[in-house]
Amino acid sequence: MLDWLISLWSDPNTRWILMGCTLLGLGSGVIGSFTFLRRESLLGDTLAHAALPGVCIAFILHEVKSAGLFLVGALLAGIAAVLCVSAISRWTKIKPDAAMGIVLTFFFGVGTVMLTHIQHSGSGSQSGLDKYLFGQAAAMVTRDVYTLMGVSLLLVLAALLLFKEFKLISFDPGFARGIGLPVGLLEHAMLILTTVAVAAGIQAVGVVLVAALLITPAAAARYWTDRLSVMLTFAGLFGALSGASGAAISTLGEGIPTGPVTVLAATLLFAVSLLLAPRRGLVARALRHRGLKADYAARSAVHASGSPEAAEGGGRR
């Protein structure tokens, strides 16, 4: 076990990937907390699928694979997708969830057409494009890891700087507008940060699973606290832990993919939080429920026996 940990650290390539995945988990956990509170968790899924045509267009235009370029493509496509979702749900009777589904599949479908077109036209360097989509952190080169780390740090920094503003628009947009905050601008900023997190995360865990990086750590963190600052810390911690264990465990064997392990680690943390968190966890709730029941039974027994002092004592307890 210890040897394994040491070997992880001593191999420079593995070390970079480990740090990249950890920071990525941290960044997306923090940003995901805000999207979780705004009840827009599945937007991450939409953004991830919508990134495909953007990535393909970036590749067609420049004929090179680079994380930075793909990030820009994914960002632009994600913004286009979000605009489409809000346009559909605003101008028609179609509900936002169906609008998300329509945009998600349409963008992904168009992206698939482009991807297969690229593959069949056979420009030599396209082989890694599908790797990019299904997420294999081990396939990243050092420059991509640098991009990933830079992006994750940017996410955390932005969340810290705009903490108060984001907090207000997450809990009470009406009040935020009332005190003169530029709510529309802040919402767009948050959206762009979410898109950046998704676009960066696709490389490590893949299109389908990247939504989990945003949702699961945030949902787990929600069980531990009622304060936003504590929740962000927990979500970042859970995200970082799952990212690190995903990257570490996938070095154990040839066929172990990073993405699924990362997501399963996050799910495990969520399950533990759901069960064992103090106050909001299921176990704590069941215990409290039982305590109340016993208390009530004791009190009604006292009432039935008709002793006023005992009843008063019970009430005071």
Interface residue with another protein, options 92, 125, 142, 300 (CB under 8 A): 92
Cβ at position 177, least distance to another protein in Å: 23
29-88 residues in contact with another protein (CB under 8 A) are: 36, 39-42, 44-45, 49, 88
Interface residue with another protein, options 108, 132, 224, 238 (CB under 8 A): 108
The 3-state secondary structure of the chain, one letter per residue = CHHHHHHHHHCHHHHHHHHHHHHHHHHHHHHHHHHHHCCCCCHHHHHHHHHHHHHHHHHHHHCCCCHHHHHHHHHHHHHHHHHHHHHHHHHCCCCHHHHHHHHHHHHHHHHHHHHHHHHHHCCHHHHHHHHHHHCCHHHCCHHHHHHHHHHHHHHHHHHHHCHHHHHHHHHCHHHHHHCCCCHHHHHHHHHHHHHHHHHHHHHHHCCCCHHHHHHHHHHHHHCCCCCHHHHHHHHHHHHHHHHHHHHHHCCCCCCCCHHHHHHHHHHHHHHHHHHHCCCCCHHHHHHHHHHHHHHHHHHHHHHHHCCHHHHHHHHHC
Cβ at position 212, least distance to another protein in Å: 4
Cβ at position 308, least distance to another protein in Å: 39
111 lies in the binding site for another protein (CB under 8 A): yes
Interface residue with another protein, options 218, 221, 247, 277 (CB under 8 A): 218
Cβ at position 208, least distance to another protein in Å: 6
120 lies in the binding site for another protein (CB under 8 A): yes
Query: Which one, 91 or 304, has the nearer CB to another protein?
Result: 91
114 lies in the binding site for another protein (CB under 8 A): yes
Cβ at position 220, least distance to another protein in Å: 9
Cβ at position 227, least distance to another protein in Å: 18
Query: Which one, 85 or 149, has the nearer CB to another protein?
Result: 85
Q: Which residues are at the interface with another protein (CB under 8 A)?
A: 36, 39-42, 44-45, 49, 88, 91-95, 97-98, 100-102, 104-106, 108-117, 120-121, 130, 134, 207-209, 211-212, 214-216, 218-219, 253, 255-257, 259-261, 263-264, 267, 270, 274, 280, 282
